[in-house]
């Protein structure tokens, strides 16, 4: 959430930069500033009445001490009027603050100045391309056939138990999944991240804090009886660890890694691109999250990008990195890099990670601050990235490593799987 002060001081910049995200902010920003003025006017009226009430209370005390009870009682009637007025103004102020906040929550984060204009993923900029595309036999199978052939994943059983998009991993498929999770966690821990195991459900405050609400409400699974949300990513609970927290400057950065299941409704997804592991309602992911000093956050973003790249290189997967255009950057992010791996049997690129800097957008929502060298509270910057999301990694590993003898396991995983081939 952008601060009111920033919006007031940079009205034109806010409007112009949000055009990069294809968001027309002019009317909304004008409305926010009017609501803020109304809130401030109401606050001043309330402050004036409360100040006058305090002065009258002191005067009443003096009059009673002087034995002027009649005069004191006359003033008492005025305090009753002030009490009623302050109650009315207090209610008006609460309404004004809520209305203002509701409007602020609708305003996206500003894109970083390096983000280019564009409508959708076709306009994203490829900034890195690594690894050779594997050459498979003409009869190479896609992963949904391979998982059936080697009894690794049962999609139909998942439909029986829950519904489409909830696969059941079996045998060596389950072991490969667990191996990937442990590999990703160990790599992050070796890079200085602290492992946490968060809840799989969060409350409304947490979902608002990281920007899932109100922007992605329709994509989240909602447990209505308890008003809780199944997490779409571990970013939500892990970042909210620091909600309403004031850190010391020397505590930064905070580096956490978490494995979790993730739940997304993926409403409107259909067609060949969602087959098999390509798009699920429940999937597993290892997430890295950092809370950083504003002056260091973009260096940290590059550090996180290198970390994700190192994972793909160790898995021997061809990958490319894209800088997302304005139309593809999320509501809350300022700058995002997407990682895609090549799926040789499907002959297409599959997104496996997004690494983003949210600057102070989430911190302002969460009131996540740090005390600077001058003792002043400043908003921290938050960053996160998939390191990595498992389904499409699994798909690419199975497809790219298929041979006549079976599916070969990359060397980096063999200590975790305890087998080097699936046959």
Query: What confidence score (pLDDT) does residue 71 get?
Result: 80
* pTM: predicted TM-score of the whole model, two decimal places: 0.91
Is the pLDDT at 268 greater than 60, yes or no?
no
What are 300-339's pLDDT values in tens digits?
A: 999 999 999 999 999 999 999 999 999 999 999 999 999 9
Statement: residue 271 has pLDDT above 70: no
Architecture of the domain made up of 121-422: 2-Layer Sandwich (3.30)
Contact 288, 256 (CB under 8 A): yes
Beta strands in 315-418 (DSSP E): 319-323, 335-343, 348-357, 369-371, 377-379, 381-389, 407-408
The rounded distance, in Å, linking the Cα atoms of 2 and 169 is: 43
Handedness of CA 356, 360, 362, 367 (dihedral sign): positive
Q: Is the per-residue pLDDT at 120 higher than 80?
A: yes
Where b means 16+ CB within 10 Å and e means fewer, 336-346 reads bbbbbbbbbbb
The predicted pLDDT at position 54 comes to 82
Q: Report how far residue 118's alpha carbon sits from residue 217's, in angstroms, rounded to the nearest whole number.
A: 25
Task: With cut-offs at 50, 70 and 90, classify the pLDDT of residue 76.
Answer: confident
- Residue 270 confidence (pLDDT) above 70: no
Residue 154, strand partner residues: 168
pLDDT at res. 296: 98
Q: For residues 176 and 169, what is the distance between their CA atoms, to the nearest angstrom?
A: 9
Q: What is the pLDDT of residue 272?
A: 56
- Residue 226 CB-density burial (10 A; 0-12 exposed, 13-18 middle, 19+ buried): exposed
Reported as a single tens digit per residue, the pLDDT across 400-418 is 999 999 999 999 999 999 9
Q: How far apart are CA 288 and CA 382, in angstroms?
A: 11
**Domain residue spans of the chain:** 4-104, 121-422
Say if residue 347's pLDDT is above 90. Answer: yes
pLDDT reading at 167 higher than 60 = yes
Looking at residue 402, the DSSP 8-state letter turns out to be B
List, in sequence order, the alpha helices (H) in 232-296.
235-239
In CATH terms, the fold of domain 4-104 is Helix Hairpins (1.10.287)
- What local confidence, expressed as pLDDT, does residue 266 receive? 85
Determine the Cα–Cα distance for residues 128 and 132; give it in Å rounded to an integer.
Answer: 13
Task: Indicate whether 238 pLDDT > 80.
Answer: yes
Residue 278: is its pLDDT beyond 80? yes
Which of the four pLDDT bands, split at 50, 70 and 90, describes residue 63? Answer: confident
CA pair distance 239, 241, nearest whole angstrom: 5
Number of Cβ atoms within 10 Å of the Cβ of 251? 12
């Amino acid at each position: 959430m952008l601060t009111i002060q920033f919006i007031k001081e940079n009205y034109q910049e806010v409007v112009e930069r949000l055009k990069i995200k294809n968001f027309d902010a002019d009317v909304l920003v004008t409305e926010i500033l009017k609501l803020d003025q109304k809130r401030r006017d109401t606050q001043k009226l309330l402050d004036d009445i409360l100040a006058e009430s305090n002065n009258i209370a002191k005067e009443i005390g003096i009059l009673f001490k002087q034995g002027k009870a009649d005069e004191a009682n006359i003033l008492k009637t005025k305090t009753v009027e002030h009490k009623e007025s302050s109650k009315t103004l207090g209610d008006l102020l609460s309404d004004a603050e809520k209305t203002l906040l509701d409007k602020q929550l609708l305003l996206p984060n500003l894109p970083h100045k390096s983000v280019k204009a564009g409508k959708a993923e076709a306009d994203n900029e490829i900034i890195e391309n690594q690894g050779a595309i594997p050459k498979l036999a003409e009869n190479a199978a896609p992963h949904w056939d391979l998982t059936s052939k080697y009894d690794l994943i049962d999609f139909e059983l998942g439909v029986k138990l829950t519904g489409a998009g909830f696969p059941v991993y079996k045998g060596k498929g389950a072991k490969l999944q667990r191996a990937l999770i442990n590999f990703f966690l160990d790599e992050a821990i070796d890079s200085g991240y602290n492992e946490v195991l968060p809840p799989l459900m969060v409350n409304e405050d947490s979902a608002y804090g990281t920007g899932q609400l109100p922007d992605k409400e329709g994509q989240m699974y909602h447990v209505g009886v308890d008003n809780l949300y199944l997490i779409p990513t571990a970013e939500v609970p892990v970042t909210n660890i620091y909600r309403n927290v004031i850190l010391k400057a020397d505590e930064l950065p905070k580096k956490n890694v978490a494995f979790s299941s993730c739940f997304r409704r993926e409403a409107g997804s259909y067609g060949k691109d969602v087959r098999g592991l390509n798009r699920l309602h429940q999937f597993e992911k290892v997430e890295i999250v950092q809370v950083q000093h504003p002056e260091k956050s973009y260096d940290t973003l590059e550090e996180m990008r290198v970390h994700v790249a190192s994972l793909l290189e160790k898995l021997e997967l061809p990958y490319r990195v894209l800088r997302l255009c304005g139309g593809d950057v999320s509501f809350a992010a300022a700058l995002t890099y997407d990682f895609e791996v090549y799926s040789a049997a499907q002959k297409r690129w599959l997104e496996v990670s997004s690494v983003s800097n949210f600057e102070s957008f989430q911190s302002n929502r969460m009131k996540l601050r740090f005390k600077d060298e001058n003792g002043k509270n400043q908003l921290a910057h938050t960053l996160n990235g998939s390191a990595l999301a498992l389904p499409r990694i699994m798909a690419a590993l199975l497809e790219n490593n298929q041979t006549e003898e079976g599916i070969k396991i990359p060397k980096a995983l063999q200590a975790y799987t305890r087998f080097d081939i699936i046959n």
